[in-house]
């Protein structure tokens, strides 16, 4: 039996593995949700494969995506990260990750978890299933991504506009945007 994938992952083995094992799978744990917040924010203005290829270096540089540790990063730690060629050396994005971690923690305290916060924006607090037959059926933003990014911006989160938010929602399975023909549609 042949395997059919969504068109966007092409033939890159790393992209295919990410598509097959992670993309669109519902994530409920806050550690992974924080990881993708860091990675998607770093991706702003770049391709996802650029970040995906650096994921392990991000994991190392950002304390295994421990939100408490990242929230306490010092200016010295920022300088250390800026010398790491394995991450995108963009000072504002790195500094913003610290502020974003602090806001993430405040949201956890307010809602019980970041997951509960995110799903408070979802219809019936459930993931959205899209009917994607051709590439023209795919979208890059939604009412939900608009609302989440707007609320996060109001709270002080940076590098997380509606398009980045929607990509985040796809990555963590808040929306199922696998093509109907995809063998990995779950």
pLDDT of residue 1: 59
In degrees, rounded to 5, the angle at the alpha carbon of residue 143 between the alpha carbons of residues 18 and 184 is 25
Average pLDDT, the chain: 95
| Letter string b/e over residues 44-65, b meaning 16 or more CB atoms within 10 A of that residue's CB | beeebeebbebbeebeebbbeb
The proportion of the chain whose per-residue pLDDT surpasses 70, expressed as a percent, equals 99
Active site residues: 18, 40, 48
**Taking the CA of residue 137 as centre, how many other CA atoms within 13 Å lie in the half-sphere pointing to its CB?**
14
128: how many CB neighbours lie within 10 A of its CB? 15
Residue 186 has pLDDT above 80, yes or no: no
**Each residue's pLDDT tens digit, 34-43:** 999 999 999 9
What's the token pair of residue 85?
């060629």
Distance between CA atoms of residues 122 and 133, nearest Å: 23
The end-to-end CA distance of the chain, in Å, is 18
Single out the residue of 16, 78, 51, 37 nearest to residue 174, CA to CA. Answer: 37
Residue 74 has pLDDT above 70, yes or no: yes
What average pLDDT does range 90-100 have in this prediction? 97
| Residue 50 bridge partners (DSSP) | none
pLDDT of residue 100: 98
Q: Which domains does the chain have, with CATH numbers?
A: 26-176 (1.10.340.30)
Q: Which pLDDT belongs to residue 2?
A: 74
What are the pLDDT digits (tens) for 115-168?
A: 999 999 998 889 999 999 988 999 999 999 999 999 999 999 999 999 999 999
Q: What confidence score (pLDDT) does residue 9 get?
A: 85
Is the torsion defined by CA of 93, 97, 100, 104 positive or negative? positive
Q: Which two tokens stand for residue 164?
A: 């980045």
pLDDT score recorded for residue 185 = 84
Does residue 86 register a pLDDT over 90? yes
> In angstroms, what CA-CA distances link 148 with 62, 67, 118, 140?
24, 20, 7, 14
What proportion of the chain, given as a percentage, has pLDDT over 90?
A: 91
Mean pLDDT of 14-27: 95
Give the span between the Cα atoms of 51 and 118, in whole angstroms. Answer: 23
Is 127:68 a contact under the CB 8 Å cutoff? no
Q: Please tell me the predicted confidence (pLDDT) of residue 51.
A: 95
Quick check: 30 pLDDT over 90?
A: yes
Query: How sure is the predictor about 8, in pLDDT bands with cuts at 50, 70 and 90?
Result: confident
59-77 mean pLDDT: 98
């Amino acid at each position: 039996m042949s395997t059919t994938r969504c068109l966007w992952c092409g033939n890159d083995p790393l992209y295919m593995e990410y598509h097959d094992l992670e993309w669109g799978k519902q994530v409920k744990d806050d550690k992974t949700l924080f990881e993708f917040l860091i990675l998607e924010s770093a991706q702003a203005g770049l391709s996802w494969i650029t970040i995906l290829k650096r994921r392990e270096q991000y994991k190392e540089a950002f304390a295994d995506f421990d939100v408490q540790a990242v929230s306490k990063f010092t200016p010295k730690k920022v300088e250390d990260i800026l010398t790491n060629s394995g991450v995108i050396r963009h000072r504002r994005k790195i500094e913003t990750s610290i502020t974003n971690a602090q806001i993430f923690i405040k949201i956890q305290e307010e809602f019980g978890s970041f997951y509960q916060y995110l799903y408070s924006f979802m219809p019936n607090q459930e993931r959205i299933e899209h009917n994607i037959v051709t590439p023209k059926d795919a979208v890059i933003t939604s009412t939900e991504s608009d609302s989440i990014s707007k609320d996060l911006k109001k709270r002080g989160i940076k590098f997380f506009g509606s398009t980045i938010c929607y990509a985040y929602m796809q990555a963590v399975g808040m929306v199922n945007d696998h093509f109907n023909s995809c063998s990995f549609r779950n």
